[in-house]
Amino acid sequence: MALLSKEASLALVQRVNRLVGLPNGFPPPEEPPAPRERLQAPGTRSAEHVDVAVIGAGPAGSAAALIAARAGLKVLLLERGEYPGAKNVSGAAFYGSAIMDELIPHWWEQAPVERYLSRRVLSFMAPETSVALDFRSARFAEPPYNGVAILRPKFDRWFADQAVAAGAFLLNAAVVDDVLWEDGRVAGVRVRRDGGDIRADVVIACDGANSLIAKKAGLQRQFHSHEMSLGVKEVLALDEETIRERFHLNGNDGMAFEYIGSITEEVSGGAFLYTNRNTLSLGIIGQISSLVQHKRRPYELLEGFKAHPAVAPLVRGGTVREYSAHIIPEAGWNMLPKLATGGMMVAGDAAALCFVAGLYLEGINYAILSGIAAAETAIAACREQDFSAASLARYETALKARHVLGDFHGYRHAPAMVNSERLQNLYPAVIAHAAEQIFRVRGEPKQKIMPIALDALRQHKVAPVELLQDMLNAGRSFGW
Amino acid sequence: MVMTLEERMRTVRFQVDDRPHIVVDAGICKDCSVQVCVYVCPASLFVPLDDGGILFNYEECFECGTCYIACNKEGAIQWSYPRGGYGVTFRES
């Protein structure tokens, strides 16, 4: 079959984008405010000095510290929690096993991995029905594995230990309140403790989704409530054998469930459930602006998720081991901060490098990739003793080389699409309705699929023009 | 098997600092007609008062930041992190 040439398909894509009526590129990101008064770095003799100060021992920070320490740099890794992972919450499905394998060969043999995710189920939810896409691959259950389920307090601790083994110095219980400046560039960090000013040639801010440091340094603007989602989660204890039988798992295989549609009722968001060794991780995610609009309490939505007829049998008998909450930067490309300035770079969730696009829910992999890219930039800067903004601007090139920026740019239309009212609540209901009509047997003449689909669209009052626009928009977001 | 928020919160470990890391200016809250913090906080730490203000208790805070992102009153919520090692300490998540 003759397919379109690359040029022809590109032209087609551009035409379709014009037809959808939305701009091809988003407007340039809003300028962050000018930094307020800057703290002066102390003289070289009066303060401790390191080559690289990494703020936050999550996946981005530990990856950066590991790479920089391996290159022989003096690295200080600062963690505000009692231990790495103490402040961290993720689903957590980690889809970066192959990336980690490059850093630490056969890492899964020594790391606290819960289960290998060889099955993914994406469900479209209506109040009493659900339709799911169920994908399994035996190849995903083989090394290096596609994704694994992890628990952050254990995983982050292990990963930070790898950085320490490579020579980085880890300081726990250390909050960084600000960066220090000298000659117009960042030259250190202020840790909240006596004598807490530490000089650093390069500061890498990996202080998470709610990065106060990126804002204080003037690299990130204030967030809008539609760009951030709140996740609330529970870890439920269930014994290992029950989990295997209930989810039909062999050995250490595991599965990831993701849900969109009415599972968060009228709130834009979704839900997840991951199998761990002897626990389940499950939770709901709600866009903050949408929670505000509908005045919904997140833990009530979590309770509703657990009570849904498709979910209740999965969690039956599980006792809550821990409740947790965290925010997620969801606007992707449209909320990326300025990534670097003189003496400083931003990585991981602090740089909003969280890939949330319906089919995908990834962040730890991009955190690690950006941590590596930042460390490699820092290594080059230290070698040349050039910590200027121009020198550290190479971080962006490194992020492009690792496909990070390309991924976010390619899917830049997806977050708004995924959180849109119609995709969230209308279409899952239409799909579930149509599926019910297709599968229900009434002893009446069997209808063909087209009239069933048209009837479902009519009953849910879908406007044909909007549907067409959404299909093209979905195509532009995910298809081409 | 419906669980109350109080029961849920008992599963979380908090190392309470003697100084609050978040300060809420109840005077500003009195002028706020929506008070969305009351709904969105995952630990339900914002309690509306009869006088129209807000009572806030920082002790069982997840440090997530939802309140200040949702808040539409400039200056009502002063937000920072607790001292190192204090605040919420997740063990399982």
The predicted complex's ipTM stands at: 0.97
Q: What is the pLDDT of residues A205-260, one digit of tens each?
A: 999 999 999 999 999 999 999 999 999 999 999 999 999 999 999 999 999 999 99
Q: How open is the CA angle A117-A102-A256, to the nearest 5 degrees?
A: 10
The answer, yes or no, to whether the previous bond of A398 is cis (omega within 30 of 0) is no
In a domain, B15, yes or no: no
A191 lies in the same domain as A321: no
Token pair in block for residue A48: 């401790």
CB atoms within 10 A of CB A28: 6
Nearest to B45 by CA among B75, B72, B70: B70
In a domain, B38, yes or no: yes
Compute CA A476 distance to the chain's CA centroid, rounded to the nearest angstrom.
21
* Ranges in chain B, pLDDT < 70: 1
- pLDDT reading at A8 higher than 70: yes
| Total domains in the fold of chain B | 1
Length of chain A: 480
Residue A46 pLDDT grade (very low, low, confident, very high; cuts 50, 70, 90): low
Do B62 and A324 count as a contact with CB atoms less than 8 A apart?
A: yes
Determine the average pLDDT of the residues in A271-296: 97
Nearest to A199 by CA among A47, A80, A377: A47
Determine the average pLDDT of the residues in A282-308: 97
Query: What residues in B contact A325, CB-CB < 8 Å?
Result: 42-43, 62, 64, 66
User: Looking at chain B from residue 52 to 71, which residues have their Cβ under 8 Å from any Cβ of chain A?
Assistant: 62-66, 69-70
Q: What CA–CA distance (Å, rounded) separates A430 from A456? A: 6
Do A295 and B9 count as a contact with CB atoms less than 8 A apart?
A: no
Q: What average pLDDT does chain A have?
A: 92
A170 lies in the same domain as A206: yes
| Domain CATH for B47 | 3.30.70.20
Q: What is the pLDDT of residues A449-474, one digit of tens each?
A: 999 999 999 999 999 999 999 999 99
Nearest to A274 by CA among A300, A299, A249: A249
Interface test with A, best of B8, B61, B86, B93 (most A CBs within 10 A): B93
In a domain, B90, yes or no: no
Residue A42 pLDDT grade (very low, low, confident, very high; cuts 50, 70, 90): confident
A291 lies in the same domain as A270: yes
Q: What CA–CA distance (Å, rounded) separates A336 from A30? A: 10
Q: Confirm or reject contact between A287 and chain B (CB < 8 A).
A: no
User: What confidence score (pLDDT) does residue A26 get?
Assistant: 40
Do B5 and A299 count as a contact with CB atoms less than 8 A apart?
A: yes
Residue A204 pLDDT grade (very low, low, confident, very high; cuts 50, 70, 90): very high
Give the three-class secondary structure for A43.
coil
In a domain, B40, yes or no: yes
In a domain, B1, yes or no: no
Q: What CA–CA distance (Å, rounded) separates A285 from A264? A: 8
User: What confidence score (pLDDT) does residue A37 get?
Assistant: 74
Q: Cβ(A286)–Cβ(A268) under 8 Å?
A: yes
Between these two residues, A323 and A19, which has the higher pLDDT value? A323
Q: What CA–CA distance (Å, rounded) separates B56 from B66? A: 14
Interface test with B, best of A326, A328, A335 (most B CBs within 10 A): A326
Q: What is the pLDDT of residues A100-127, one digit of tens each?
A: 999 999 999 999 999 999 999 999 998 8
In a domain, A308, yes or no: yes
In a domain, A138, yes or no: no
Sign of CA dihedral A310, A315, A317, A322: negative
- Its pTM stands at 0.93
Q: What CA–CA distance (Å, rounded) separates A284 from A237? A: 18
At residue A118, φ and ψ (nearest 5 deg) are -105, 5
- pLDDT reading at A436 higher than 70: yes
Write down which residue in A298, A329, A360 finishes a domain: A329
At residue A79, φ and ψ (nearest 5 deg) are -125, 130
A342 lies in the same domain as A217: yes
- pLDDT reading at A263 higher than 80: yes
Residues sharing a CB contact under 8 Å with residue A334, sequence separation 6 or more, in sequence order: A26, A29, A227, A412, A415, A416
In a domain, A119, yes or no: no
Give the three-class secondary structure for A472.
helix
Nearest to A355 by CA among A409, A287, A394: A409
Q: Which helix (H) or strand (E) holds A377?
A: helix A364-384
- pLDDT reading at A28 higher than 50: no
Write down which residue in A275, A295, A329 finishes a domain: A329
- Shortest distance between the Cα of A181 and any Cα of chain B, in A, equals 21
- Say which DSSP state A223 is in: P
A321 lies in the same domain as A338: no
A280 lies in the same domain as A363: no
A232 lies in the same domain as A202: no
Residue A17 pLDDT grade (very low, low, confident, very high; cuts 50, 70, 90): low
User: What confidence score (pLDDT) does residue A140 get?
Assistant: 93
Between these two residues, A385 and A28, which has the higher pLDDT value? A385
- Give the domain extent around B65: 24-81
- pLDDT reading at A54 higher than 50: yes
- Give the domain extent around A216: 39-112+150-222+334-402
A163 lies in the same domain as A301: no
In a domain, A43, yes or no: yes
The percent of residues in chain A predicted with pLDDT above 90, rounded, is 83
A179 lies in the same domain as A94: yes
Q: What is the pLDDT of residues A318-336, one digit of tens each?
A: 999 999 999 999 999 999 9
- Single-letter code of the amino acid located at B7: E
A324 lies in the same domain as A199: no
- pLDDT reading at A277 higher than 50: yes
Adjacent-strand bridge partners of B13: B89
Q: How open is the CA angle A154-A160-A164, to the nearest 5 degrees?
A: 140
Q: What CA–CA distance (Å, rounded) separates A95 from A279? A: 19
| Total domains in the fold of chain A | 3
Q: What CA–CA distance (Å, rounded) separates A434 from A459? A: 10
Q: What is the pLDDT of residues A157-190, one digit of tens each?
A: 999 999 999 999 999 999 999 999 999 999 999 9
Do B90 and A295 count as a contact with CB atoms less than 8 A apart?
A: no
Nearest to B92 among A172, A210, A321 (CB): A321
- Shortest distance between the Cα of A401 and any Cα of chain B, in A, equals 32
A372 lies in the same domain as A422: no
Token pair in block for residue A309: 């007829």
User: Looking at chain A from residue 418 to 477, which residues have their Cβ under 8 Å from any Cβ of chain B?
Assistant: none
A271 lies in the same domain as A364: no
- pLDDT reading at A272 higher than 80: yes
Interface test with B, best of A77, A230, A233 (most B CBs within 10 A): A230
User: What confidence score (pLDDT) does residue A22 get?
Assistant: 43
Q: What CA–CA distance (Å, rounded) separates A261 from A468? A: 20
Length of chain B: 93
In a domain, B92, yes or no: no
In a domain, A275, yes or no: yes
- pLDDT reading at A66 higher than 90: yes
CB atoms within 10 A of CB A261: 25
Residue A18 pLDDT grade (very low, low, confident, very high; cuts 50, 70, 90): low
- pLDDT reading at A25 higher than 50: no
Residue A357 pLDDT grade (very low, low, confident, very high; cuts 50, 70, 90): confident
Write down which residue in A402, A430, A451 finishes a domain: A402
Sign of CA dihedral A163, A164, A166, A169: positive
